[in-house]
Structure 1
Amino acid sequence: MTPDHLFNAAPPGRISRRGLLGLTGLAGAALLAGCGGDAASDGSTDLTFWLPGGEDGYLKLHKELGVKYAKAHAGTKVSITRLTGNQNFLEVLLARIAGGNPPSATILWDPPVALGSRGSLVELDDYMAKSKNSALKNWPEAVLASCEFDGKTYGLPFTAGSYAMFYNQEWFEEKGIPSDRTSFPKTWDDLRALSKEFTRWKGDRLESAGFLPPWDAVTLPIWSGLNGGSIYDAKNRKYTIDAEQNVELFEYFVSWLNEEYKGDINKVNESWTALGDAPPIFQEKRLAMTQDGTWLMGAFYSVEAKFKRWEVADYPVGPSGDKPVSGYWPNWLAIPRESNDPDAAFDYLDYLAVTGAQAQFEEFPDLPTNAKVDPEIVPKKLIERRGEKFAKDSVKFFRHQLEVSVPMWESPVHTYAADQLARAIERISTKTGKPKDELAQAQKNCQAELDKVR
């Protein structure tokens, strides 16, 4: 498992968002040729639905959902297409929208606000008001904000895996450390002190670690919130990247790197890269604590782990913070502009919002967000491995994390900002730039890009 997987882990059924954005070229559009939807001449409805990627099981699940929907809606056919090869999904999708031949509807792994603000998606508010499942009241306000721009809604956040701290209970107990959830560190200082108990070096090779400061743009809003800060103010459309709390955050991480990890992120990365094809370092019992999302409840069992009992806990709070917070990573549903049948497409999305989200959660543990989804459902794999009581308690815990999530994915220039933040974080972690300077530059660039939209 590489450091990229550690710091930018993608849920099962997805590829890394960073990896997705890194793919280049519109040549991939040819691989999706012929996948747009067209109105059938006999009056039937042909819907095409795109997946941005994902493993075979994810594709199979959505094909089964399409078949079930079609059986219940006479004259309707649903065709599912998955991203394949070296295609940049967003580039292909935008090219198809511009050409007037997009899919009828799609799943997005990047926020609808970014596409909606440029006029690339259909407004859904009127559909939602008349829908069976997707009325405004059925969506968590904080999560739906990632779909809203200028008072209009451009997507449905039908699942949203929330984040938390995962830790190896068995390893804790071996060292005589309390392993119950309530005893987990409540502050960054406590987490840092505990981390040392597990961190071992052999020369310049890191053999094991307690917890690694997250040099990660995706979860940065969470850590900023834990320190009393924020990255983006959606209400005022203003970035706050260089706020004092964020400078303090990265100065703290650099100090931690110096104290526990020889001051060299490259040595850490090289240590993990040297593992080659070994299982992920958390399952391999080389990392005692990690941040991750609900999807790890399923992904944990994708390899043979060296321990069985793991637990989850709240994030610890930073020196300038006052309460635990969390974050989320959604799957969004959207209808591209120029869809062949927006009415029928929304009806399918309304079906996926509840029936699809519930089926997906049982196989790939991304939390359904719609209020009409049965709150008692839990992932099948987790019940099989840990029992129904543990599974229900874990799901209840992650639902609470969704309730305390900080704003994320709300900027209309989110993708641009993510790249700018990633560059700043890389320079800070490798000590080629100071936190205050790098965050100031990222702030300047992101605000300038945002002002173009305003």
Structure 2
Amino acid sequence: MRTPRIAAVVAALALVAAGCGSGGEQKSAATDKPTGTATLWVRDSAKGFINLLAEQYNKTHEGKVQVTVVPSANFVQKFGTAAASGSGPDIASIDLVYLPYFASKGVLDDLTPVLDSLSWKDGLSPAHKKLAVYEGKTYALPFTAEASVTFYNKDLFKKAGLDPAKPPTTYAEMLSAARAIRKLGNDYYGFTMAGQCGGCNIFEFAPHVWASGGKVLSDDGKAAAFDSPEVTDALSFYRQLWTEGLMPPSAKTDNGSVQPASFQSGKVGMANLGAFFVQTLVADKKIDFGATPIVGKDKGTASFAGGDEIAVTKGAKNKAVAYDFVKWATSEEAQTILAKNAIVPVRTDLIDKIYAPLDPRYKVLGDAMAIGQTPYSVVENAIINDNNGPWSKLINEAVFGSGDVKAAQTAAQTAAQQIIDKG
């Protein structure tokens, strides 16, 4: 999960208290016949498929959607400012970790009746549905999904005397495999990570904690758990990978831009990444790779469920088309288009039908997403995504710093809880 900061938009969203929708009169209500054009904003991470989706909807519906692609680094600020002034889009595709925040600011329509009307609502990603809820109401529908898994180089496994059909299932087995691969030569490494990327490490590191039965936040997001024993174990595991020289030096300073290329070099045995990486590696045609669930200390597996939610803004001008489109976006027709473009469907009931048959590794990713977790917090960016925040500082200090894991946890726990309590 490589997402932008949210701090710059807080002041703009303070305007929401005065009410949204001041930027013009509403053209249609949600219950009207869906005609005319609705505007849709998406991050540029969706540019590979969003026009295909819009074209299909426009071709088969009387109503139309007009897409605007916004740079990911600017999306949160641009959307927040526009929503606060009533000049935002009718529909917004929003990184699911920001849904609690935007829902709490009153800029999104209550879509609870829409979700309840879907015959397939029970097949939608549980993590997406959870993060769309604020004070008992649902403010978005699941749209696109992502999942984190461990990618491993089968060729390196074979050269190191490991069985590529039996990837690691515990920390001890991962450590043993990393050591074996490191012995292949000075420029070979067992594992890599993006040490300077808070968002990457909630996506890639936190699943180790969850797979071990722990948490990083309470279910309601009101209590940090950075000092839990399961976090201690995961940090100590990564610390050992680092101190034994099983990670490349780049892992310490990587902001997320180096990690994929390190694995693609063919000199790194394992890396925790997302579904997007399958398409990259397949197109590259250089590595025989496998994908396996991210493991816990002693068995157990977990994944971060990432992706986007699709919401109707409070100030939407064409609510009829907006409501029609967000419902259609969860349909089999729409989700099949996404699956064919290497996007994990949010429909867990369709994984085996429209996604897994495209590549055997997609089955692993689809199953991971179906049980994936996502921390719920209205201050998620400040405590986790911010590279100067407590989560990122915790990993930097515990894994690459002094090595006093418990002290790093105590400091991070205190800082995170203060942010949560302040709100």
Q: If the length of structure 2 is used for normalisation, what is the TM-score?
A: 0.82
Q: Specify which of 335, 340, 352 is matched with residue 362 of structure 1.
A: 340
1:297 paired with 2:278, answer yes
Could you tell me which residue of structure 2 aligns to residue 113 of structure 1?
100
Amino acid paired to 1:445: A
Q: Note the C-alpha offset of 1:93.
A: 0.6
Partners of 2:350 and 2:230 lie apart in 1 by 37
The answer for the alignment partner of 2:411 in structure 1 is: 441
- Per the alignment, residue 131 of structure 2 pairs with 146
Corresponding position of 1:282: 263
**Aligned counterpart for 1:210 among listed residues 177, 190, 211:** 190
**Equivalent residue, structure 1, for 2:61:** 73
CA shift for structure 1 position 240: 1.1
Checking the alignment, whether the CA contact within 8 Å between 2:96 and 2:132 is kept in structure 1 is: no
Residues 185, 124 of structure 1: CA spacing in aligned structure 2 closer, same or farther, 3 A cutoff? Answer: same
Mapping for residues 80-95 of structure 1, pairs under 5 Å: 80-84=67-71, 88-95=74-81
Match of 1:4 in 2: none
* Residue pair 2:41, 2:70 contacting (<8 A) in 1 also: yes
Query: 1:123/1:170 Cα in 2 relative to 1: closer, same or farther (>3 Å)?
Result: same
Deviation of the 1:22 alpha carbon: 8.4
Question: Against the structure 1 CA distance between its residues 120 and 450, is the aligned structure 2 distance closer, same or farther, given a 3 Å change threshold?
Answer: farther
Q: Residue 257 of structure 1 aligns with which residue?
A: 242
- CA deviation map 1:208-252 (0-9, x unaligned): 211136642333321111333110112473221111221232123
2:227 paired residue among 232, 242, 254: 242
What residue is the counterpart of 2:39 in the other structure?
A: 48
Alpha-carbon separation, structure 1, partners of 2:48 and 2:61: 20
- 3-state SS of paired residue (1:285): coil
1:342 positional shift: 3.0
Contact 2:220 2:376 in 1 (8 A): no
Mapping of residues 365-404 of structure 1, within 5 Å: 365-370=342-347, 373=350, 375-378=352-355, 391-404=358-371
Gaps of 5+ in 1: 1-9, 11-15, 27-35, 380-387
Moved more, 103-112 or 243-252: 243-252
Aligned partners of 2:147, 2:306: CA distance in 1, in Å?
Answer: 6
Paired position in structure 1 for 2:19: none
Report deviation, 1:345. Answer: 0.8
1:348 aligns with 2:325: yes
1:312 is the counterpart of 2:298: no
Find the counterpart in structure 1 of residue 394 from structure 2.
424
User: Structure 1, residues 55-93: CA drift from partner, whole Å, max 9, x if none?
Assistant: xxx43632232233233332x332100014x95211111
Alpha carbons of 1:78 and 1:335: their partners in 2 closer, same or farther (altered >3 Å)?
Answer: same
Indicate how the Cα distance of structure 1 residues 277 and 93 shifts in structure 2: closer, same or farther if over 3 A, else same. closer
The answer (yes or no) to whether the contact 2:36–2:64 under 8 Å persists in 1 is: yes
8 Å Cα contact 1:97/1:336 also seen in 2:
yes
CA distance in 2: counterparts of 1:300 and 1:23, whole angstroms: 35
Residue number in structure 2 paired with 1:59: 47
* 1:158-208 CA-partner distances (Å, limit 9, x unpaired): 23222222111122223332111xx22221112111111222698xxx622
What CA distance in whole angstroms lies between the structure 1 residues aligned with 2:259 and 2:321?
A: 46
Given that 1:116 and 1:154 are in contact with CA atoms closer than 8 Å, whether structure 2 keeps it comes out as yes
| Distance apart, 1:266 and its partner CA | 5.0
RMSD (Å), alpha carbons: 3.3
Note the C-alpha offset of 1:348: 0.4
Secondary structure at 2:306's aligned position in 1?
Answer: strand
Between the aligned residues of both structures, percent identity stands at 17
Moved more, 444-453 or 155-164: 444-453
TM-score (normalizing by structure 1): 0.77
1:329 and 2:306 correspond: yes
Residues 253, 175 of structure 1: alpha-carbon distance in 2 compared, 3 angstrom cutoff: closer
Instruction: Provide the C-alpha distance between the structure 1 equivalents of 2:27 and 2:100, rounded to a whole number of angstroms.
Output: 31
Contact 2:310–2:326 under 8 Å retained in 1: yes
Aligned partners of 1:231 and 1:241 also within 8 Å? yes
Q: Match of 1:315, as an amino acid?
A: I
- In the TM superposition, what whole-angstrom CA distance separates every residue of 1:20-40 from its partner, at most 9, and x where no partner exists? 3389799xxxxxxxxx99766
- Contact in 2 for aligned 1:47/1:77 (Cα 8 Å): yes
In structure 2, the residue matched to 1:6 is: none
Q: How far 1:269 sits from its partner (Å)?
A: 4.9
Change (3 A) 1:313 1:108: same
Q: CA deviation at 1:445?
A: 2.7
Q: CA deviation at 1:315?
A: 2.6
Contact 2:305 2:374 in 1 (8 A): yes
